[in-house]
Amino acid sequence: MRNAPTILHLDMDAFFASAEQASKPSLRGKAVVVGGLGLRGVVATASYEARVFGVHSAMPMAQARRLAPNAAYLVPRFELYREISDQVMGLLRTLSPLVEPLSLDEAFVDLEAGGTAWDDASARLAGVKLRADIRAVTGLTGSVGLAASKMLAKIASEQAKPDGLVVIEPGTERALLGPMPVRTLPGVGPATGDHLRRGGINTVDEIAEAGEDELVRLLGKAHGHALYAMALARDERPVVAERATKSVSVEDTYDVDIHDRVRVGLEVQRLADRCVQRLRRAGLSGRTIVLKVRRYDFSTLTRSETLRGPTDDPAVVQEAAGRLLEAVDTTGGVRLLGVGVSGLADYTQEDLFAQAQATAQARAAVEETAAQEHSDGQGEEGAEEPAAEQVPAAERRWPAGHDVHHAEYGHGWVQGSGLGRVTVRFETPDSEPGRVRTFRTDDRALEPADPLPLVPRRPEDSTGVSAGAPGRA
């Protein structure tokens, strides 16, 4: 353990919901819930105003609506969140080369490695400046914990929420941890917590008092040893700058089970294409294609196929996912589908011509067979209403919370849509709360738009000088 609190943990406050409130003046100070809005959606983030009603992350969206019926319910805008995350991570990297991102809104920083902090006072100054810079650059707030280990820095940032800073000085760790509940320690979830409680262990002090042998008896060797060390505030894990990505995947949960086999196949192809887009954005390729299917009865099947070499070719990934789907029984309906790629590499095997050619030929054969089967299976009802008319290609979706632009009224965001109408509130991050107007969903004057920056861009932003940092002559 270090003798100075030079490990920093940053956790942005209610990140997705705070970004939405900053973007939408009419929602500031109000309950906001971000997540999947379908029948099977879950809460990704709830604002602090929504948490007062008991809404929290990972809660079923239906339950959140019962608890906070008047909250604003929005679909995530990951493009905006990633942009803000990049700005925040850029600020962290000015403090140290050792930055360990845990998610879009959370990271560890080794201040000592960057020469930014070496004692209590310098660490606290670094934390104060970081919070000020984050607010200036993004308009959002983050909570900072500083300690001599990663475990304690994360505990400190939890204590600092929202919008605060907590420093755990070396030598005070045991006294601080002692009265805390066992769930405070990393890796102690509901099941482990219940197991410890049944053994009469409710606090961190009681873990230390029970002794290592008793913990091994209760929890097993690996978990028992690790938990005992944490109870004694021992954590020697270093901050790791780069975490190797093991896989890239996408998945969708459907509000209503999909029974049509052709529709299932089309969804798999769409997911495969999205997965490849993520691969390419990350500059990666992969050898193993993975298909995930959760059926109507919640049983989950995964199938995989390993290619001869790494690829980021959408045709290759789609074809492999399609072959995997052929081996899965979807009778009864499908509630979730996912496509992933693992065995990642930072290059693509160029000589995949034979594989791509075989893929194209196989896909053409499948399409020809499907077309023939569709033609042969058409009865009088099918002839009366062609499939192309059942799902109009021009139909546009308007997700709640997403950005739009109207030719006359300017920039706004979708409050809701349905029954052929879409309701839009016209406002921007730096405007007053705007007016609401309703349009037909096919109104050509209304178009999807890119998110606006939460803080107006300044000339120095493009030079890499952070807000709040002194300029150089």
Nearest of 98, 32, 103 to residue 413 by alpha carbon = 32
Q: Is 87 helix (H, G, I), strand (E, B) or coil?
A: helix
Query: Residue 162 carries which side chain, given as an amino acid letter?
Result: P
Phi, psi dihedral angles at 3 (to 5 degrees): -105, 15
Spatial CA neighbour of 205 closest among 182, 223, 234: 182
Compute CA 55 distance to the chain's CA centroid, rounded to the nearest angstrom.
18
Q: Could you tell me which of 291, 363, 373 has the C-alpha nearest to residue 334? A: 291
Task: List all residues 6 or more positions away from 63 whose beta carbon is below 8 Å from its beta carbon.
Answer: none
Q: How far apart are CA 340 and CA 286, in angstroms?
A: 9
Task: Please tell me the distance from the alpha carbon of residue 357 to that of residue 354, in angstroms, as a whole number.
Answer: 5
Q: Cα(111)–Cα(92) distance, rounded to whole angstroms?
A: 10
What are the contacts of 263-267 at 24+ separation with CB within 8 A?
264/325, 264/330, 264/334, 264/337, 265/322, 265/325, 267/337
Q: How many CB atoms lie within 10 A of CB 287?
A: 17
For the record, the structure tokens of 111 come out as 């201040």
Q: Look at the block and give the residue holding tokens 């209760």.
A: 218
Which residue from 365, 304, 382, 296 is spatially nearest to 331, judged by alpha carbons? 296
The span from the CA of 386 to the CA of 393, in Å, is 13
106 is catalytic: yes
Kindly give, in sequence order, each residue whose CB lies less than 8 Å from that of residue 469, ignoring residues fewer than 6 positions away: 94, 133
Which of 20, 106, 173, 267 is catalytic? The answer is 106
255 Ramachandran zone, left/alpha/beta (phi>0; psi -120 to 50): alpha
Catalytic residues: 106
